[in-house]
Amino acid sequence: MSKLRFKVVEEAFDRKAVKVDIPKERPDEYYGKYVFNRKAMYKYLPKATFDGLVYAIDHKKPLSRVLADSVADGMRRWAIDNGARHYTHWFHPLTDGTAEKHDAFIEHDGKGGVLEEFSGKLLVQQEPDASSFPNGGIRNTFEARGYSAWDISSPAFILDKTLCIPTIFISYTGESLDYKTPLLRSLNAVDKAGTAVAKFFDSKVKHVISYLGWEQEYFLVDEALYSARPDLVMTGRTLMGHESAKNQQLEDHYFGAIPSRVEAFMLDLEIECHKLGIPAKTRHNEVAPNQFELAPVFEETNLANDHNLLLMSLMAEVARRHNFRVLLHEKPFAGINGSGKHNNWSLGTDTGVLLFAPGKTADENLQFITFVVNVMAAVYKHNGLLKASISSATNAHRLGANEAPPAIISIFTGKQLARVLENLENSNAAELESLSGKMGKSVGIYQIPEIMIDNTDRNRTSPFAFTGNRFEFRAVGSSANCASAMLALNAAVADQLNDFAAKVNNRVSRGEALKQAILEEVKSLIVYSKPIHFDGNGYSEEWKQEAAGRGLDCETSVPKIFDSYLDTKSVEMFERTGVLNRVELEARNEVKWEMYTKKVQIEARVLGDLAINHVIPVATRYQSILVDNLVKIKSLFDDAKAQKIINQDLQTIETISEHMSVIKEDIERLVNARKRANSIDNERDKAIAYHDEVIPLMEVIRYHIDKLELMVDNEMWPLPKYRELLFIR
For residue range 231-259, what is the model confidence (pLDDT) as tens digits? Answer: 999 999 999 999 998 888 888 778 888 99
Give tens-digit pLDDT for 371-400: 999 999 999 999 999 999 999 999 999 886
DSSP letter at 453 equals: E
Positions of the chain with pLDDT under 70: 1, 130-131, 140-144, 400-404, 428-460, 638, 729
User: Do the Cβ atoms of 240 and 615 come closer than 8 Å?
Assistant: yes
Give tens-digit pLDDT for 705-729: 999 999 999 999 999 999 999 987 6
Strand-strand pairing, 411-412 and 162-171: unpaired
Q: What is the pLDDT at residue 417?
A: 87
CA distances for 493 relative to 297, 353, 380, 432, 456, angstroms: 23, 18, 11, 23, 22
Q: What is the pLDDT at residue 253?
A: 79
Closest by CA to 488, choosing from 501, 470, 473, is 473
CA separation for the pair 296, 342 (Å, rounded) = 12
Residue burial 508-517, b: 16+ Cβ < 10 Å; e: rest: eeeeeeeeeb
Q: What is the pLDDT at residue 141?
A: 60
Residue burial 307-336, b: 16+ Cβ < 10 Å; e: rest: bbbbbbebbeebbeebbbbbbbbbbbbbbb
Look at the alpha carbons of 494, 495, 499, 505 in this order and tell me if their dihedral is positive or negative. positive
Those residues whose C-beta lies under 8 Å from the C-beta of residue 291, and which sit 6 or more positions away, are 217, 218, 219, 253, 285, 336, 337, 339
CA distances for 261 relative to 164, 287, 665, 671, angstroms: 30, 18, 44, 42
CA distances for 587 relative to 5, 99, 591, 593, angstroms: 45, 19, 6, 10
Those residues whose C-beta lies under 8 Å from the C-beta of residue 506, and which sit 6 or more positions away, are none
Q: What is the pLDDT at residue 695?
A: 97
Q: What is the pLDDT at residue 142?
A: 60
**Helices 582-610, 639-678: crossing angle, 10 deg rounding:** 150
* Distance, C-alpha 185 to centroid of its chain: 20
Return the CA Rg of the chain.
29
DSSP H stretches of helix in 99-248:
120-124, 180-198, 223-227, 230-235
Those residues whose C-beta lies under 8 Å from the C-beta of residue 499, and which sit 6 or more positions away, are none
Those residues whose C-beta lies under 8 Å from the C-beta of residue 436, and which sit 6 or more positions away, are 358, 416, 455
Q: What is the pLDDT at residue 445?
A: 43
